C-alpha cells in the first residue's frame, strides 16, 4: 500500500529533485508601522498554490486536496491554483510549465513534490495538506472537512477579515489581454506590498503519472492516467514573485495598476483571473478570483 510518507516522489525508480529555498533580506533596520492583516472590512481568502507536474506520480494528491476544498463549505474562502514544473522531463515534458516558476519554488522553499503552499507560508510543510486527505485501506484519498478545520486553525489560515480589498477587471482575447487590478485599504499600510496576477485555465487534458488508486488507475501500481484533467492551471502571470505596490502611492485610499499578459490557452470560456497581494515578507495577505472578462468588485465581509 502506498502511504503519505513516501514523498518526495520517486517516479518509476528515478530519484526526485530537491530545491533549496532562498533566504530573504533583513528588514529589521527599517521597521514599518505594524499592520494587523487578520482584521478588516474586506473578505479574506486563502491562496493555495499546488506545485505539481505531469511526471510526478504522487502529484494527483494535490488535485484531491484542492477539489475537496472547492466542494466543501470552505469553497468561498480558498482559491486553488496549479503551478506546473518539470519534475522529470526525461519521462514526459509537462506542457504547462511557465518561465520563472522556479523563482516561486525557491520562495516557498520547495523540497519535494507535490507541494501545497498556503498563502506562501513557509512554516507550513509542503506535505502538510496530506493530514486532511486521509486514505482508505484500498489507497483512495478523500477530503475531510474536520481535519481541514484542525489544519487551518493550527496555521491560522482563516481570519476575521482583511484590511485589503481586491477588485478585478479583465479584457482578455485568444492570445493576449489586460487585467486591471484595484486595491482598497482599511488600514494605513506603511510598507511595500506586491501583487501577483494569474491567468488560470480549467479542463486541460494531458497524461499524468499516478501512484494513487484513483483517476482510472486500478492496477495498484504506479501507472499513467492518459486522459487526466488538469484544472486551475496557471497559463500566464505578471510575475510569480509580484509587482510592487509602493508604500504611499495610493490615491483616495485606492491603488490601481494594469497587467498585460500574453499566453497560450485552449478555451477562453474556461479561464479565470486570480490576484494575490503579498506583504513585505512575501506572504499572501489576501486573494481574489474572477471569471475572465468579468468584473469582481470589492468583496466585504
Query: 67 by DSSP, 3-state: which?
Result: helix
- The partner residues of 200 in beta bridges, in order of sequence, read 234, 272
User: Where residue 7 falls among pLDDT bands split at 50, 70, 90?
Assistant: very low
Q: Is there a contact between 158 and 79 (Cβ–Cβ < 8 Å)?
A: no
Grid cell 489581454 in the structure block, residue: 177
Cβ-proximal residues to 218 (8 Å cutoff; 6+ apart), any chain = none
Question: Which phi and psi (to 5°) does residue 107 adopt?
Answer: -65, -35
Is 8's pLDDT higher than 50?
no
State the pTM of this model: 0.88
Q: What angle do CA 130, 112, 103 make, to 5 degrees?
A: 115
Least Cα distance to 204 among 229, 225, 232 occurs for 229
Mean pLDDT of the chain: 89
User: Where residue 231 falls among pLDDT bands split at 50, 70, 90?
Assistant: very high
| Tens of pLDDT, residues 162-181 | 999 999 999 999 999 999 99
Q: Which three cell numbers stand for residue 256?
A: 490601481
Which range has the worst mean pLDDT, 12-21, 46-55, 133-142, 254-263? 12-21
Query: 106 by DSSP, 3-state: which?
Result: helix
* Sequential DSSP letters for 72-90: STTTTTEEEEEEE--S-TT
Residue ranges and CATH numbers for the domains of the chain are 37-296 (2.60.40.10)
Q: Which three cell numbers stand for residue 234?
A: 496557471
| Tens of pLDDT, residues 93-143 | 999 999 999 999 999 999 999 999 999 999 999 999 999 999 988 889 999
Percent of the chain with pLDDT over 90: 80
Q: Is the peptide bond before 113 cis (omega within 30 degrees of 0)?
A: no
Amino acid at each position: 500500500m502506498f502511504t503519505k510518507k513516501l514523498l518526495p516522489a520517486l517516479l518509476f525508480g528515478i530519484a526526485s529533485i530537491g530545491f533549496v529555498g532562498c533566504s530573504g533580506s533583513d528588514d529589521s533596520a527599517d521597521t514599518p508601522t505594524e499592520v494587523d492583516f487578520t482584521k478588516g472590512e474586506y473578505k479574506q481568502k486563502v491562496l493555495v498554490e499546488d506545485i505539481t507536474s505531469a511526471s510526478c506520480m504522487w502529484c494527483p494528491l494535490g488535485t484531491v486536496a484542492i477539489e475537496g476544498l472547492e466542494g466543501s463549505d470552505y469553497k468561498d474562502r480558498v482559491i486553488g491554483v496549479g503551478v506546473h514544473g518539470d519534475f522529470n522531463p526525461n519521462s514526459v515534458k509537462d506542457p504547462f510549465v511557465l518561465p520563472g516558476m522556479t523563482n516561486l519554488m525557491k520562495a516557498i522553499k520547495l523540497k519535494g513534490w507535490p507541494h501545497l503552499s498556503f498563502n506562501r507560508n513557509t512554516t507550513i510543510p509542503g506535505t502538510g495538506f496530506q493530514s486532511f486527505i486521509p486514505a482508505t485501506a484500498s489507497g483512495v484519498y478523500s477530503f475531510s472537512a474536520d481535519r481541514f478545520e484542525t489544519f487551518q486553525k493550527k496555521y491560522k489560515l482563516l481570519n476575521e477579515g482583511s484590511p485589503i480589498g481586491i477588485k478585478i477587471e479583465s479584457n482578455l482575447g485568444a492570445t493576449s489581454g489586460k487585467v486591471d487590478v484595484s486595491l482598497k485599504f482599511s488600514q494605513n499600510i506603511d510598507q511595500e506590498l506586491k501583487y501577483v496576477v494569474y491567468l488560470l485555465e480549467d479542463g486541460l487534458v494531458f497524461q499524468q503519472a499516478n501512484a494513487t488508486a484513483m483517476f482510472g488507475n486500478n492496477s495498484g501500481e504506479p501507472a499513467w492516467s492518459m486522459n487526466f484533467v488538469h484544472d486551475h492551471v496557471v497559463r500566464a502571470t505578471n510575475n510569480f514573485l509580484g509587482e510592487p505596490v509602493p508604500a504611499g502611492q495610493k490615491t483616495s485610499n485606492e491603488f490601481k495598476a494594469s497587467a498585460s499578459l500574453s499566453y497560450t490557452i485552449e478555451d477562453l470560456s474556461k479561464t479565470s483571473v486570480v490576484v494575490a497581494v503579498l506583504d513585505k515578507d512575501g506572504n499572501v495577505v489576501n486573494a481574489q478570483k474572477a471569471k475572465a472578462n468579468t468584473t469582481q468588485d470589492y468583496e466585504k465581509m
